[in-house]
């Protein structure tokens, strides 16, 4: 995956969290439920290596929406 593609996906995830927040959805709960879904989902072994990073990205993008002052990620 190119850096451009990764940044596009990150921007899309931030947009999803921002939209959810504007709809009154608790983005903390949404992020944690998504992280749980990721970690409990049974997938091919090669895909498992990405789960920890995916969970980190969920939480990072949630924090961007919440306005946390984050160091470049």
Q: Quick one: which of 3, 14, 24 has its CA closest to 57?
A: 14
- Asked if pLDDT for residue 71 goes beyond 60, the answer is no
Overall pTM > 0.85: no
Q: How many other CB atoms are there within 10 angstroms of residue 66's CB atom?
A: 14
Give residue 50's pLDDT. Answer: 86
Give residue 21's pLDDT. Answer: 94
| pLDDT tens per residue, range 14-69 | 999 999 999 999 999 999 999 998 888 776 676 778 888 999 999 999 999 998 76
- d(C-alpha 21, C-alpha 15), whole Å: 10
- d(C-alpha 63, C-alpha 73), whole Å: 12
């Amino acid at each position: 995956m190119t850096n451009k593609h990764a940044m596009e996906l990150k921007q899309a995830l931030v947009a999803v969290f921002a939209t959810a927040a504007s709809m009154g959805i608790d983005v903390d709960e949404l992020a944690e439920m998504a992280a749980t879904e990721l970690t409990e989902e049974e997938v091919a072994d090669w895909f498992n290596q990405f789960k920890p990073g995916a969970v980190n990205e969920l939480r990072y993008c949630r924090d961007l929406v919440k306005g946390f002052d984050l160091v470049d990620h």
